[in-house]
Amino acid sequence: MSDRADAHRRERHGRRVICLKVFAVLVTYICLTWLIHYVWMRKHVPDPELSLALSFTLQQIIAILALLCLSFAAKFIRNHRAWQAARLHPLIREKLALHLTGSDQWEALGSIRKWHLREIEDCLVEILGSISGAGAERLSEIAYEFGLVRKWRKQCRSRTVWRRREAVSRLCLIGRRGHADLVTALQDPDPMVKVEAARALAHSGAAPMLAEVFRMALAQNRLVRAILAEALRPHAGALCQSSVRRELHSTDASRVVAALEMLGAWAGALALPELYALLSHINPKVRAAALRLLSQAGLTPESERHLGRALGDDDVEVRTAAAEACGKLVAGSTVVLLQHAMGDAKPELVLAAAHAMAKMGRKGARLLEATVQ
């Protein structure tokens, strides 16, 4: 519900911004037209209506010419940068490769840096993205000495989203030295900036970083959690023994549900004795999320007992999750309770119960057929 509310809030904000921009353009046009008319045109054209029309036309001509000049200037700059890149990138790559293999190239790179720092930055990012270990540390020194890391940290505070994303993606390349900046980026308002930082921290494998990423993931929407669940999957065992167990004891039900959903993505319920306790949680959403993981724990007398109780729960989501779990576990002892659930008014529960009974062998099939008839 909160994800949907956030989406509506962002949509309303976007509409307001568009309306304000349209209003600002309209006011600007009116003011400029009046200014041209008042300062210059009315002195040469006595008729006010004709003077205003000519002022508006003159303003349009000036605007078109200005846009054309800006367009040509931008294209010239892009072509010039492309030409410089084609000319300098091979030389810079060669110097960086020599520096990477142990040959000191500080002097040569320093002379190139004076006029072509942008080209050095592009080549550094390209090479750092394909290497790791001691070689990456050696090239990271160049980024520090040439002020590139300071530039990326400054861009992390930019109001422009794409600049923050670019800066975070580049800070991901410098290893442990960038971890503090990436932890700060986990609080960024843009979800993709958070994801980029979190994936880099998860890749580091450091326990404090993994705990911070997992904690942040629980407060995000399902899409972000799904992305981060895959990034954290290799470390699921370690997280289940520490961060996950702490979050399952949280008083915030939404965080407990989010943690259980990530466990479902990892198939990690077997390692958590807290699962059975959560089946009796006071919040129905937590009970339902725990029931969806019950199939990973296997069919036991205790799980059958919890399933039987959940099929009589007051909350329809819990009953539906219990029916789905009965089908996955093929819990034959619950077939009569499933038959009773077939008479419920909620179609999702009836469908889940029918699917579960169909998996219960001959007895389930007979009862399902009798119920449908």
Number of Cα atoms under 13 Å in the Cβ half of residue 249: 9
Helix, strand, or coil (residue 55): helix
What is the per-residue pLDDT for 288? 92
Residue that wins the pLDDT comparison between 155 and 303: 155
pLDDT value of residue 295: 81
- The secondary structure of residue 159, as a DSSP letter, is S
120-137 exposure pattern, b = at least 16 Cβ within 10 A, e = fewer: bbbbbbebbeeeeeebbe
Across residues 268-283, what is the average pLDDT? 77
Both tokens assigned to 337? 């309770």
User: What is the model's pLDDT at position 270?
Assistant: 54
Residue 298 has pLDDT above 80, yes or no: no
Q: Binning pLDDT at 50, 70 and 90, where does residue 134 land?
A: confident
Alpha-carbon span 119 to 283, nearest angstrom: 56
Tell me the C-alpha distance between 334 and 359, whole Å: 12
Tell me: the pLDDT tens digits for 36-94?
888 888 888 888 888 888 988 988 898 899 999 999 999 998 888 888 888 889 999 99
Torsional class of 131: left (φ above 0), alpha (ψ -120 to 50), beta (otherwise): beta
Contact 95, 88 (CB under 8 A): no
Record the pTM.
0.69
Give the CA count within 13 Å in the CB-facing half-sphere of 98. Answer: 13
Q: pLDDT-based confidence at 303, cuts 50/70/90?
A: confident
Query: Is the Cβ–Cβ distance between 212 and 186 less than 8 Å?
Result: yes
Q: Which residue has the tokens 């960038």?
A: 178
In this structure, how many other beta carbons lie within 10 angstroms of the beta carbon of residue 15?
10
Q: Which residues contact 33 (CB under 8 A, 6 or more apart)?
A: 52, 55, 56, 59
Q: Which residues of 267-298 are buried (b: 16+ CB within 10 A; e: fewer)?
A: ebbebbeebbebbebeebbbbbbbbbbbbbbe
Q: Are 241 and 263 contacting, i.e. CB atoms less than 8 angstroms apart?
A: no
Measure the CA–CA gap between 260 and 270, rounded to whole angstroms. Answer: 12
What pLDDT was estimated at residue 10?
A: 72
Residue 144: count other Cβ atoms within 10 Å of its Cβ. 12
In whole angstroms, what is the distance from residue 57 CA to residue 205 CA?
63
Residue 161: phi and psi, rounded to 5, are: -65, -45
Residue 151 has pLDDT above 90, yes or no: yes
Integer Cα distance of 290 and 321 in angstroms: 9
Most confident of the ranges 66-75, 171-180, 263-272, 334-343 = 66-75
Q: What is the pLDDT of residue 76?
A: 92
At position 263, the amino acid (one-letter code) is L
Specify the residue for token string 């209506």.
49
Residue with tokens 């006011």: 27
Model confidence at 1: pLDDT above 50: no
